[in-house]
Structure 1
Amino acid sequence: MSVVVGGGLYRVLQGACRVAADLNQLAIGTDTVFVALLNAFPNIASLVGPRPVRVTGYDLHQGVEAAAVDLVPEVEIELGRALKEVHWRVFGWVRDGTPSNVPSWTNGARSVLRLAMAIAASRRDSWVGADHLLEALMADQEGVPARLIRQRGVNLDHLTTVARQVWPTPGGEPPRRALAELMHRAGVLVSPGQENRAMGALTRHLTSGVVHLLTNASPALAFLEDEAIAETVRSGWPQTTSAHLLLAVVVLEEEMMAGDFYPSDNYLSACGIVLKSIGFDRGKAYRYLESVMREEQSASPQRRRAWRSNPKNPPWTITAVRVADSARGVGSAPVGSAHLLYSILVDSDDIGRRLLREQAIDPQDVRVSLARRLALGNSEA
Structure 2
Amino acid sequence: MGQHVFVAQGLYRILVGACQVAKSRQQATIGADDIQESMRRRIPNFVPGRLAGAGPLADRPGGWAGFEVAATLRQARWEAFRSPGRRRPGDAIHWGDDVPAAIRRAIDLAPPARPAVGTGDLAAVLFTGYSALPGTGGIAWPKDDDRPLRPLTDYLLHWRYVTPDPQPQQKPPARWVSAYTSLTAGADVVLANLELEAIRQAVRLGRDRVTTADLVLAVAAFEDELAARRLRPVQAHRSLLTVRGLTSADAALAATTATDTDDPAVAGPARRRAWRTNPNNPPWSTAAAAAADQARTTAAAAGVPAGSAQLLSAALTVPDNAAGTLLRALHTDPSEVLRDAA
- TM-score, normalisation: structure 1: 0.77
CA contact (8 A) 1:229 1:240 kept: yes
The 2-side partners of 1:344 and 1:197 are apart by 29
Taking a change above 3 Å as real, the CA distance of residues 97 and 79 of structure 1, as seen in their structure-2 partners, is farther
What RMSD in Å do the two structures reach over aligned CA positions? 3.3
Say whether 1:252 aligns with 2:242.
Answer: no
Q: What is the aligned partner in structure 1 of residue 33 from structure 2?
A: 31
Within the candidate set 335, 338, 342, 1:367 is matched to 338
- SS of the aligned residue for 1:215 comes to coil
Mapped to 2, the partners of 1:4 and 1:90 lie a distance apart of 20
Q: Tell whether the 8 Å contact from 1:208 to 1:218 is kept in structure 2 after alignment.
A: no
Q: From the superposition, tell whether residues 135 and 196 of structure 1 become closer, same or farther in structure 2 (CA, over 3 Å).
A: same
1:185 Cα deviation (Å)? Answer: 1.9
**Does structure 2 retain, via aligned residues, the 8 Å contact 1:342–1:367?**
yes
TM-score, normalized by length of structure 2?
Answer: 0.85
Q: How far, CA to CA, are the matches of 1:61 and 1:43 in structure 2?
A: 18
Deviation at 1:329, TM superposition (A): 0.8
Identity in percent:
30
Partners of 1:35 and 1:99 in 2: how far apart?
22
Q: Identify the residue that residue 232 of structure 1 maps to in structure 2.
A: 202
Q: Give 1:118 deviation, angstroms.
A: 2.1
Number of the residue aligned with 2:83: 93
Q: Is the 8 A contact 2:327 2:333 kept in 1?
A: yes
Residue deviations 1:118-161 (CA, integer Å, cap 9, x gap): 221x554221000101101115xxxxxx6xx6xxxx799x7996
C-alpha distance in 1 between matches for 2:121 and 2:6 = 12
Does residue 6 of structure 2 align to residue 4 of structure 1? yes
Rg larger for: 1
CA deviation digits over 1:257-294, x for unaligned, max 9? 01111011xx11xx332211112244443444324115
1:94–1:100 contact (8 Å) kept in structure 2: no
Secondary structure (helix, strand or coil) at the match of 2:55 reads helix
Deviation at 1:100, TM superposition (A): 6.7
Q: CA deviation at 1:103?
A: 1.9
Structure-to-structure mapping, 1:51-130, within 5 angstroms: 63=53, 66-71=55-60, 73-95=63-85, 101-120=91-110, 124-130=113-119
2:165 aligned with 1:192, yes or no? yes
Residue 301 (structure 2) pairs with residue 301 (structure 1): no
- The letter of the residue matching 2:147 is P
Query: Cα distance, 1:224 vs. partner?
Result: 0.6
Q: Check the 8 A contact 2:22/2:34 in 1, yes or no.
A: yes
Matched residue type, 1:89: E
Alignment partners' CA distance in 1, 2:107 and 2:11: 10
- Partner of 1:335, secondary structure, is coil
1:277 and 2:243 are equivalent in the alignment: yes
Give distance in 1, aligned partners of 2:280 and 2:242: 31
Find 1:356's aligned residue among 321, 327, 334.
Answer: 327
Change (3 A) 1:189 1:347: same
Which residue identity is paired with 1:201? P
Distance change (3 Å), C-alpha of 1:203 and 1:193: farther
Kindly tell me: are residues 195 and 43 of structure 1, through their superposed partners in 2, closer, same or farther at Cα, counting changes over 3 Å? farther
Query: 1:48 Cα shift?
Result: 5.6
Displacement, 1:202? 5.4
More RCO (CA 8 Å, sep 6+): 2
Unaligned runs of 5+ in 2: none
| CA distance in 1 between partners of 2:206 and 2:174 (Å) | 38
CA distance in 2, matches of 1:109, 1:136: 11
Unaligned 5+ runs, structure 1: 50-59, 140-145, 372-381
Paired letter, 2:338: R
Of 172-181 and 201-210, more deviation after overlay is shown by 201-210
AA aligned to 2:168 is E
Of the three residues 274, 282, 289, the one matched with 1:314 is 282
Moved runs in structure 1, 4+ residues, more than 4 A? 95-101, 158-161
| Residue number in structure 1 paired with 2:295 | 327
Query: 1:339 deviation in Å?
Result: 1.1
**Relative to 1, partners in 2 of residues 1:219 and 1:155: Cα closer, same or farther, differing over 3 Å?**
closer
Counterpart residue identity of residue 334, structure 1: P
One-letter code aligned to 2:120: D
| 1:181 is aligned to 2:154 | yes
State the match for 1:378 in structure 2: none
Structure 2 partner of 1:56: none
Deviation (angstroms), 1:361: 2.6
Which of residues 159, 162, 172 is equivalent to 2:138? 162
- Distance in 2 separating the partners of 1:155 and 1:223: 39
Count of matched residue positions in the alignment of Structure 1 and Structure 2: 334
SS in 2 for 1:328: helix
